[in-house]
Amino acid sequence: MAIRTTSRAPTSRPRRTARVARRLLRGLPPARHTVGCERDLPVPAADGVTLLTDHYFPAEEGEFPTLLVRSPYGRAFPWAALYGMAFAEQGFHVVLQSCRGTGGSGGEFTPWRDEASDGHATVAWLREQPWFSGAFGTVGASYLGYTQWALAQDPPPELRAMVIQMGVHDPYGFYYAGGAFNAESALISASGMLHQGRGALPFLRGALRLRRHLGRAVAADPLIDAYVPALGERVPFLEDALTRPDADDPHWRGADLGEVAARLTVPTCLIAGWDDVFLDQNLRQHARLRGSVPEWELVVGPWTHTSAFGEGLAEVFGHSLAWLRGHLCGEPPEVPRTPVRVHVGGADEWRGLPDWPPGSTERRWYVNADGALGEEPDTSPPVSFRYDPADPPPATGGPLLSGKAGRRDNTALEERADVLTFTTAPLAEPVTVMGRVAAELRVAVPDGHGDVFARLCDVDERGRSRNVCDGLLRLPSATPRDTPVAVTVPMSSTAYRFAAGHRVRLQISGGAHPRFARAPEPFELALHPPSALVLPQLAS
């Protein structure tokens, strides 16, 4: 790659909050460079809207590649530290930009609509900068992943590498996982988009307001009449999502960028978390990338959406940095790497793999009326529960955007009469599960409607039950009344080792509130044989 000589940008100190936050980060490699910053640069969009941008850079002479980070969450805490300073210290120009309508940028923020054109306008601006070397990469988490997929629809020739960290590419799939509205995470996401770009204090006030009003908001039906006290104002993009539950609604046309991965040629690293709300989206993109991108990498760690930048920061930043250095600076990784690296829960170990999912054997554990999970189909009478929308089963851990995410003790939840559990005998030897888990059930609902929430749990020797993965299915409105029908409740993928002496548990209920919006009407659900938990078991 030809690098042309560049002049150094005017030096100013990064924001004090960024410097303080950077000192608090643990697990980052030693800095190679001191950092300078140009703040509030006006970048023109194609329609003339001004996109405010901060430029972080190594404060010394030299030629350095560029990273583009486009975000609706502002350019201060924590993004200035996590992306601006941390990567500039390692030898990159970092262009940190606020999406239109956020962080002081002009125009109106309408999620996903303008990201492609605004991204390309920013690349056109980059080409005019004297410090631009002619090559850049992208990096970012959550919605910052969406802005990368949007640019990659028609990738500029200078784009040499992408790092998608716990990213989203399908807004509808986020809002309506399994068919029910993803209520709690939708409100948390809206609060972040609404307040974080306005500064640290407005963001803190918004978070406290949401915590204070969340319970009342999600308890109301309909939610659209109750969320305003929780967020402080009306949010058009949230109301659009609430009022358009049909995936075929024109509102969602063009929003899903999944097919971009199927024709992409830019080397791409996907970083995901087993307890992240976007895990399934990341794995679907990996499946598409495998057939198109000549170089790809998948890393899945034991993180939630937020803990990836806390306890997981060393792994997340380390993999991101190695990928970007390799493809923008020509630096090979210090340690040989496999295309896939996953953390195996239960065993608390990392494992390198040639691909995901690895080869495995499908193993079925059948539901028995006495609460057992057995190796053979059961012919005993069905078991049932009654779901009451006034007292729905509460969400306990799992893939959430809140601090309540992750693996939690499910003991109290499983004592409820509306939560069914089916458990194996203590395992004689370890069982390692790698791949997508599912519950294949025969269910009957007298009222012809309802939700089925299925969860895989690990029960230790003390009887403590902890969630591994789960999923929800909203039964179609045309479900026959009182007639057993076969349904599959897909759960998330996992890499997990059940230890010898532990037990495998399948948990079935009518929801997980307020993670999912409650089914509005009461219903009774009967579970008929043969119903089974399906595990992708890795060969010993």
pLDDT at 8 over 70: no
**Residue 458 domain flag:** yes
The sign of the dihedral angle between the CA atoms of 168, 171, 172, 175 is: positive
| Residues 187, 246 share a domain | yes
CATH of the domain at 429: 2.60.120.260
Residues whose CB falls within 8 Å of the CB of residue 179, separated by 6 or more in sequence, listed in order: 472, 473, 474
Which of 57-61, 215-219, 449-453 has the weakest average pLDDT? 215-219
Of 251, 268, 301, which one is at a domain's C-terminal end?
Answer: 251
| Residues 232, 179 share a domain | yes
Write the burial class of residue 415 (CB in 10 Å: 0-12 exposed, 13-18 middle, 19+ buried): exposed
CATH of the domain at 66: 3.40.50.1820
In terms of DSSP bridges, do strands 451-459 and 465-474 run parallel, antiparallel, or are they unpaired?
antiparallel
Of 190, 219, 251, which one is at a domain's C-terminal end?
Answer: 251
**pLDDT, average across residues 174-198:** 91
In terms of DSSP bridges, do strands 93-98 and 159-167 run parallel, antiparallel, or are they unpaired?
unpaired
| Residues 27, 124 share a domain | yes
pLDDT band at 1 (very low <50, low <70, confident <90, very high): very low
Number of domains in the chain: 3
Query: For residue range 468-508, what is the model confidence (pLDDT) as tens digits?
Result: 999 999 998 777 888 899 999 999 999 999 999 999 999 99
pLDDT at 50 over 60: yes
**Residue 93 domain flag:** yes
Of 337, 371, 398, which one is at a domain's C-terminal end?
Answer: 337
Q: Residue 274 belongs to what H/E stretch?
A: strand 268-275
Query: For residue range 402-440, what is the model confidence (pLDDT) as tens digits?
Result: 889 999 999 999 999 999 999 999 999 999 999 999 999
pLDDT at 449 over 90: no
Query: For residue range 338-362, what is the model confidence (pLDDT) as tens digits?
Result: 999 999 999 999 999 999 999 889 9
**Residue 355 domain flag:** no
**Residue 347 domain flag:** no
Q: Using an 8 Å Cβ cutoff, are 56 and 87 in contact?
A: yes
Q: Please give the share of the chain, as a percent, with pLDDT higher than 70.
A: 96
**Residue 127 domain flag:** yes
Among 137, 168, 154, CA closest to 283: 168
Peptide bond between residue 78 and the one before it cis (omega within 30 degrees of 0): yes
For 1, other C-beta atoms within 10 Å of its C-beta total 11
**Residue 156 domain flag:** yes
| Residues 374, 233 share a domain | no
pLDDT at 441: 97
pLDDT at 5: 33
| Residues 195, 141 share a domain | no
Q: Which domain holds residue 243?
A: 175-251
pLDDT at 85: 94
User: Angle, to 10 degrees, between the axis of helix 200-219 and the axis of helix 183-195?
Assistant: 150
| Residues 405, 493 share a domain | yes
Peptide bond between residue 514 and the one before it cis (omega within 30 degrees of 0): yes
Q: Cα–Cα distance between 64 and 334 in angstroms, integer?
A: 20
Query: For residue range 85-136, what is the model confidence (pLDDT) as tens digits?
Result: 999 999 999 999 999 999 999 999 999 999 999 999 999 999 999 999 999 9
pLDDT at 540: 58
| Residues 232, 300 share a domain | no
**Residue 123 domain flag:** yes
β-bridge mates for residue 527, sequence order: 383, 443
| Residues 333, 393 share a domain | no
pLDDT at 300 over 50: yes
DSSP letters for 1-32: ------PPPPP-PPPHHHHHHHHH--SPPPPS
pLDDT at 402: 87
pLDDT at 333 over 70: yes
**Residue 39 domain flag:** yes
The amino acid occupying position 291 is G
| Residues 45, 161 share a domain | yes
Among 457, 494, 455, 464, CA closest to 345: 494
| Residues 431, 500 share a domain | yes
Query: For residue range 238-254, what is the model confidence (pLDDT) as tens digits?
Result: 999 999 999 999 999 99
pLDDT at 131: 97
pLDDT at 3 over 50: no
| Residues 531, 398 share a domain | yes
| Residues 260, 247 share a domain | no
